[in-house]
Amino acid sequence: MTQTQTDTSSPPRSRSRIAALDVIRGFALCGILLVNLPPIMGLNSVDAAGEILPLYRFLEDTVQNRFFPIFSFLFGIGFGLMWLSAGRRSERPRLALLRRFIFLGILGGLHQLLQPGEALLPYALAGIILLLPATWIPPRWLGWVTSVLGGVLLVAGVATGGGIAVIPGLFLLGFAVGHSGFVRSVLAHPGRVAIVGALALTVTIIGFATTDYVTRQIHGWINAGLGVSMALTYVVIILMLMRTPAEAVLKFVFAPLGRMALSNYVGATLILVSVRMVMPDLARFDDQGGYVAGLIVCALIILVQVIVSSLWLRWFGQGPLEKLWRLVTWGRNTGLTSSRG
């Protein structure tokens, strides 16, 4: 029996959106906007005296390499959730998902013209090279194989300094989590989530207590490792807050961003490029190399995107790029509601 047949004959699974994934994705999108701020706006890392700017250092320690892992892991989870129903949505599900990655690659290639080093193109390539072939692993072994291989590749990616090197491992680990249904199981056991968060926080505290900024930058593996531990800490904090009255606020602010993550990611770049054309030198607005002005710009972008995303989803139910991406993937056979988050 083929994988497609196995998926097709399996009992239907819940196709409801997982609100926590939308919130985490939206939260990560805000962090990635801060990461993209310096390169797009051409902000320097040092002042006139050659000293590292405080805000730049702060962003390096709290944002850089901290949100990219979250997004990568979520991408793998989304693919795993999608593969659960792919056989019921298309007679040739792998071909449909290949079209999905090709579209992402083309979009990423165009996006590279505005933001060299962006993530969409590497995501598309990693998806074609790793995620699609992984769907041929027999179902009984898929979780184990992708988990072990993903763990090994993640360690290797951290050891080489992080960045795009962590994509393969996080993609496969996310695929294992999404395909196994482990996501809903974890969300149903907050105690286990808290334990994982406590361990990640402990690693983060020890890492910062035993190193200084220069050491972390010179030894890329330390910064990359702290990036993963801090990313996990951020995710756990969000998940725990989702079990408090703060859930309503988190959903209101971050869920619309997460549901339109692709449109908002590309849209934020277009806005930042436009801002740079109008104000090419943000450094003249403050004494922190333009970072204060840049953070204000980012806050305004997020505010606008929250409002626009909420209104757009109320009227259309799906972001413009998300709708096009879905149409390219499945054609007009889009009756099922996506569970990518």
pLDDT number for residue 155: 97
Percentage of the residues of the chain whose pLDDT score is greater than 70: 93
pLDDT number for residue 334: 53
Residue with tokens 């590292």: 52
Question: What are the pLDDT digits (tens) for 133-163?
Answer: 999 999 899 999 999 999 999 999 999 999 8
* Tally of residues, the chain: 341
Confidence of residue 18 (pLDDT cuts 50, 70, 90): confident
pLDDT number for residue 49: 83
- Which comes out higher in pLDDT, residue 334 or 319? 319
pLDDT number for residue 333: 58
d(CA 117, CA 164) in angstroms, rounded, equals 9
Beta-carbon contacts of residue 314 (< 8 Å; ≥ 6 apart):
none
pLDDT number for residue 332: 77
Question: What are the pLDDT digits (tens) for 31-51?
Answer: 999 999 999 999 999 888 888
Beta-carbon contacts of residue 139 (< 8 Å; ≥ 6 apart):
3, 6
* Res 280 pLDDT > 70: yes
pLDDT number for residue 16: 61
d(CA 311, CA 317) in angstroms, rounded, equals 9
* Res 242 pLDDT > 60: yes
pLDDT number for residue 341: 38
d(CA 252, CA 269) in angstroms, rounded, equals 23
* Res 6 pLDDT > 90: no
Report phi then psi at 319, rounded to 5. -65, 160
pLDDT number for residue 311: 97
d(CA 167, CA 175) in angstroms, rounded, equals 12
Q: What is the mean pLDDT of residues 17-29?
A: 92
Q: Is 201 left (phi over 0), alpha (psi -120 to 50) or beta?
A: alpha
* Res 11 pLDDT > 50: no
d(CA 317, CA 309) in angstroms, rounded, equals 10
d(CA 130, CA 115) in angstroms, rounded, equals 25
Q: What is the mean pLDDT of residues 100-108?
A: 97
Q: What is the DSSP letter of 211?
A: -
pTM value? 0.89
pLDDT number for residue 189: 80
Q: What is the mean pLDDT of residues 289-311?
A: 96
DSSP string over 73-85: HHHHHHHHHHHHH
Q: What is the mean pLDDT of residues 64-84?
A: 94
Please answer whether residues 310 and 251 qualify as being in contact, where contact means their C-beta atoms are separated by less than 8 angstroms.
no
Q: Please state at what angle helix 19-41 crosses helix 54-62, rounded to 10 degrees.
A: 150
Question: What are the pLDDT digits (tens) for 157-211?
Answer: 999 999 899 999 999 999 999 988 777 777 778 888 899 999 999 999 999 999 9
- Average per-residue pLDDT for the chain: 90
Confidence of residue 336 (pLDDT cuts 50, 70, 90): very low
* Res 8 pLDDT > 70: no
Please answer whether residues 44 and 53 qualify as being in contact, where contact means their C-beta atoms are separated by less than 8 angstroms.
yes
